[in-house]
Amino acid sequence: VMMSARRGTDNTKAPGPSVRDPKDRALPPEPSKTGVSRTTTGSSYTKPPTSQSQGSVWRSTVSNPQQRIQELEAKVEQLEIDLDKERKENADLEAEVQSLRRDNIRLQEESQTAAAQLRKFTEWFFQTIDRQ
């Protein structure tokens, strides 16, 4: 239900085959027409049928426990890399927000100063006209 709310009210998927859910970054490439995708290590995955409101779920078809462990370790490593990237992006965005807040305060102060100067000039201007 939450996924359908993020994709839009018409319950349609995002357009184009190249658009993927950000959570899918650590997963293998899109499955082929047969529903099976091969990774560089040779392990295969099947993508079970899902409704549009569910996220992508990949299940391993590897029967060897050692291969499954290696597969999971590779996934964990990729997720850690993705998490580090997200944390860096978050820190960069936080720094940008702080910079924008400082700029906003400065611009508000400049606006107030300019408004006060304009009031003084307007008063002076009309006093000068009234004297003539």
Q: What is the pLDDT of residues 51-66, one digit of tens each?
A: 444 556 667 677 789 9
pLDDT-based confidence at residue 132 (cuts at 50, 70, 90): confident
**In whole angstroms, what separates CA 28 from the centre of its chain?**
20
Question: How is the chain split into domains, by residue range?
Answer: 1-61, 62-132
Residue 95 is classified by DSSP as H
Q: Rounded to an integer, what distance in angstroms lies between the CA atom of residue 28 and that of residue 57?
A: 11
67: nearest Cα among 83, 84, 44, 85: 44
* Residue 126, pLDDT above cutoff 60: yes
pLDDT: is 65 or 21 the higher one?
65
Name the one residue in this structure whose structure tokens are 């006060």. Answer: 116
Its pTM stands at 0.45
Q: Say whether pLDDT at 104 is over 80.
A: yes
